[in-house]
Structure 1
Amino acid sequence: MPSLRSFLLASFAIAGALSAECEGDVSIESDGDVSKLDNCNSWKGDVIVGEGVGILSIPTLQTIEGALSIAGATGLTSISAPMLRSISGTWTMQELTILSSVSCASLTSVGNINWVTLPALKALDFTSGVTKCDEVLITDTILTSLEGINLQTATNFNINNNKYLKEVNVALGNVSNAVNIEFNSKGVNVAFPDLVWAKNITIRDAGSVSFPKLESVNGTIAFINNTFSDASFPELTEVGGSFAFNSNSQLSNCSAPNLETIGGTFQLANNTKLTNIDGFAALTTVDGSVDFSGSFTNATLPALDDVRGGMNIQTTEEFDCTEFDNYKSDGVVKGSGYTCEGKLDEAKSSSGGSSTSGSGNSSDETNSAARAGVSIVALFAACAAMLVL
């Protein structure tokens, strides 16, 4: 009869053998190769799935302490890993042209998600919900929602070119670098109900947006080519970079009543249904320029005290420039560039050049002088170059 000592030694040897069999980088080149992961609760290393796999079924594995990489497997139709709870590295899926479903009912944590060119992917089964992931890139799928991706924090959250995506509703609290929602389904509904802080935010082609708790953006926040009618930021107090709304065709109401400072340009450009700009009553400081162009009949920034750049106010409608003329004459506007014009045939943002037609205008004469100075400098430079030749 074996002694207790010999029994324990044998047990440790078996455990060691099993541990050795469940670590290191492993390649899955065919459906049969998945058996390499059998009898392993945890795999310590990268799992690399090759082109020959048609169905990836991992029934027992609970953790991958490494990356899960699946690229170029053009015959892969589905992924099922019902017990998988976490992937510590990057989960890469690239150019999987007929992959239609991914089922990981227990998954809650992924290092990074990098999903690119999955044109048949229409369903995610993340029943438990992925709450931890640092970087998310999902592009070129036919997903209609991101249900099951319920992150609390992230460094980057980039969702683009998913033409059937109807909703992005994610409970992120903060994003340390960037949120990008762009070129998805026209009119996608975008909601970040718990987002308090982000470094940069860019939203394009959205039908609705909701940021009820957003307090601070360290960098730039931009809304481009959207179709929502209302954009309100009730808790926003500061934007470190530019705050821009460009070419939002249905935008009729835009407000951030508690916004006090903008570190870059404050731009409202070509939002054709935005006739009244009066939702920024607390704004005192703009470190860049104020640039409003469009079809508005009224614009007011009643608390404005310091604009360190220029000011460009252009509208196709009749407009009273008195408030903004006073900001220039009283020294609120520190930059040399100043334009305020109404009844224009075409209103242009400062980045698109100045418009010279229209009535009821007030323009800073230093603009033309500065342009003339630049022209003279350019002429002398050209002459000097010819003499050298």
Structure 2
Amino acid sequence: MRYGVAFLLPLFVASTFAKLNIQGQKPSAAEEFSAFGSGKGPKLPHNVRPHANFLNNKRGLSELCRKDHHVIEASGDLYTLGIQCGNISGSITFTNYEDSIIDFGEIENIGGSLIIEDSSSVVKIQGRKLKKVGGVFFIKNLTSLVAIELPELKYINAIEWKVVPILTNARLDGLVEGLTSITISDSSLATINGFQKVEELAIFDINNNRFLERINTNVKRVTKELRVHANAKELELELPELKSARNITIRDTSSIELPKLERVDNSLEFIENQVSQLFLSNLKTIGGTLGIMQNSQLSSLDFGNVTDVNGGLVIANNTNMEKIDFLQQLKQIGGAIYFEGKFQDTDFPQLKLVKGSAFIKSNSVVLDCNKWITPLNGRAIIRGGKLLCISGRKQKTQNISQDGKVLDESEAGSNEHSGKDNGKSKNGVLSKITSSSSSIFDNLNMVWIFGIAWALCLFQIFQLG
């Protein structure tokens, strides 16, 4: 028996050491990640970099990387995802993120959208390796965000940044490609450029960036909306390659450069700008309304090649505009005319047809309304029903049929002194105002007479009753 135990003892010891050796072997990187990912072990701290073997086994964990959607709430979640997946096929959403920095670390490609919202603690977004966002790069309600540092980001499908009130620095690759839409609203950015390889956008909307002083991009076509408004009053807008757009609305700028613009499919509006000049010499057609309104410094314009405005033509309250004569080749207006301001003259030598009505009102007595008035036996270019022209206190009205026949006309205001002066002297202006005022008072007296007579009739009726 003693010999038997002696014989079995080495075998037992060897077996025991063999088991200890197997249990003591270091697990593979895949096993370690399996433990972390399945909840069998503790989550990696975000500030602890794992062994390099973790990085060498990403390919074996492709199921996680192929998920349609990842929700990140803390930096540890993002770090763990980055270690496992350099390329992510789905989207990433950050919501109520509590850390101050979003660092994409080893992540290079995001196939879906990148959504970061409602995270008031975030101060900076960075990623030294991130090259692609296949969907929308969406940021909203990041009230503490100061900087975006993604210097290698070369491809984005769309940018939509809203309510980032202290964002002052956004650094992307200077030659970003793939963009179909850009919306930047409510930021503290001073310049927007770096989109020099973007040729076509559906939407280009830059608004409410109170310190924004310069926009420069080489976009050639905007297929839906181009809107620039409510930025710094000193904003310089430079779109040197833009050739066509569906709708354009530009407000609150100090200079506008659209030297190659040829076509606007719908409306074109310039409102409350501080520009002194507006040159669109290559523009030929406007598919909707052309509106130029409340541009207080605007005095020099060139729309010399525009032949058709298929909507209305609105030119109103441009204080320094003395003449409306910048549409020398305009042949047709598809809607109504609305002119109002201090202008002294209008000149449309090629205009043959206005399909809507016309309202023309100037505070200047120099304006000659006879340019727009058609003789009773003539054929009017206005076909929309009514022409009303007001020059100083003189008013002329014509009702016109759709085929251009003048149905009737009327004139208000006095012209009895017009033979003695040309309307330019102070006495001439004063006499016109006085005459018009007298006419107004006469009308008021008649109203009073009728009113008193009606009151007396009512009184007698009550007395009889």
Q: TM-score, normalised by structure 1?
A: 0.83
8 Å contact from structure 1 (residues 251, 273) kept in 2 = yes
Amino acid paired to 1:309: G
SS of residue matched to 2:372: helix
Whose helix fraction is larger, Structure 1's or Structure 2's? 2
Question: Structure 1 residues 53 and 15 mapped into 2: Cα distance closer, same or farther (>3 Å)?
Answer: closer
CA deviation map 1:52-100 (0-9, x unaligned): 2321111332211011111111111111122222211111111111110
AA of the residue aligned to 1:217: V
Which position in structure 2 is the counterpart of 1:332?
381
CA offsets 1:173-225 (integer angstroms, 9 cap, x no match): 00110001011111311121111010000011111111100000001011111
Alpha-carbon separation, structure 2, partners of 1:133 and 1:167: 20
Report what 2:242 is aligned to.
Answer: 195
- Find out whether 1:180 has 2:227 as its counterpart: yes
Structure 2 match to 1:221: 268
Greater CA drift, 250-259 or 145-154: 145-154
Unaligned segments of structure 2, at least 5 residues = 1-56, 402-406, 410-465
In 2, Cα distance between equivalents of 1:38 and 1:75: 24
Distance in 1 (alpha carbons) for counterparts of 2:116 and 2:324: 50
Residue 320 (str. 1) matches residue 368 (str. 2): yes
SS in 2 for 1:325: coil
Are residue 29 (structure 1) and residue 73 (structure 2) matched?
yes
The aligned residue for residue 60 of structure 2 is 17
Would the aligned equivalents of 2:82 and 2:105 in 1 still touch at CA under 8 Å? no
Q: 1:363 aligns with which of 376, 397, 400?
A: 397
Whether the 8 Å CA contact 1:337–1:366 is kept in 2: the answer is yes
Instruction: Give the gaps of 5 or more residues in structure 1.
Output: 1-13, 344-357, 371-389
**Contact 1:327–1:333 (8 Å) recurs in 2:** no
Deviation at 1:15, TM superposition (A): 6.8
Identity %: 26
Who is 1:207 aligned against? 254
Q: Which residue of 2 aligns with 1:10?
A: none
Change (3 A) 1:240 1:327: farther
Contact 1:22–1:37, Cα closer than 8 Å, also in 2:
no
Classify 1:293/1:122 alpha carbon distance in 2 versus 1 (closer, same or farther; 3 Å): same
Preserved contact between residue 28 and residue 53 of structure 1 (Cα < 8 Å):
no
Structure 1: how far apart are the matches of 2:269 and 2:342? 20
**Cα distance between partner residues in 2 of 1:336 and 1:128:** 55
Q: Which residue number corresponds to residue 215 of structure 2? A: 168
Alpha-carbon displacement from aligned partner over 1:287-342 (angstroms, at most 9, x marks no partner): 00122111111210110011111112211112112322249943211111101221
Q: Distance in 1 between matches of 2:389 and 2:108?
A: 64
CA contact (8 A) 2:216 2:237 kept: yes
Distance 1:162 1:131 in 2: 24
Measured in 2, the distance between the counterparts of 1:130 and 1:59 equals 20
Higher relative contact order (CA 8 A, sep 6+): 1
Query: In the comparison of the two structures, how many residue pairs are matched?
Result: 343
Greater gyration radius: 2
| Aligned partners of 1:311 and 1:339 also within 8 Å | yes
Give the stretch that moved more between structures: 295-304 or 51-60.
Answer: 51-60
TM-score by length of 2: 0.70
Structure 1 residue ranges, 4+ long, deviating more than 6 angstroms after superposition? 366-370
Name the residue aligned to 1:376. none
| Aligned mates of 2:375, 2:344 — CA distance in 1 | 19
**Rounded Cα–Cα distance in structure 2 between residues aligned with 1:271 and 1:130:** 39
For 1:326 and 1:309, how far apart are their aligned partners in 2? 16
Counterpart Cα distance in 1 of 2:389 and 2:155: 53
2:291 and 2:234 mapped to 1: Cα distance?
Answer: 19
The alpha-carbon distance between structure 1 residues 115 and 39, as it changes in their structure 2 partners (threshold 3 A), is same
How far off its partner does 1:19 sit?
2.1
- SS of residue in 1 equivalent to 2:254: strand
Q: CA RMSD in A?
A: 2.2
Q: Distance in 2 between matches of 1:131 and 1:314?
A: 49
Partner of 1:83: 129
Aligned to 1:341: 390
Q: Counterpart of 2:367 in structure 1: which amino acid?
A: F
Conserved 8 A contact 1:246-1:268: yes
Match for 1:23: what amino acid? R
Report the CA distance shift for 1:302/1:291 in structure 2 as closer, same or farther (over 3 A): same
Q: Tell me if the contact between 1:30 and 1:54 (Cα under 8 Å) persists in the aligned partners.
A: no
How far apart are the structure 2 equivalents of 1:129 and 1:93? 21
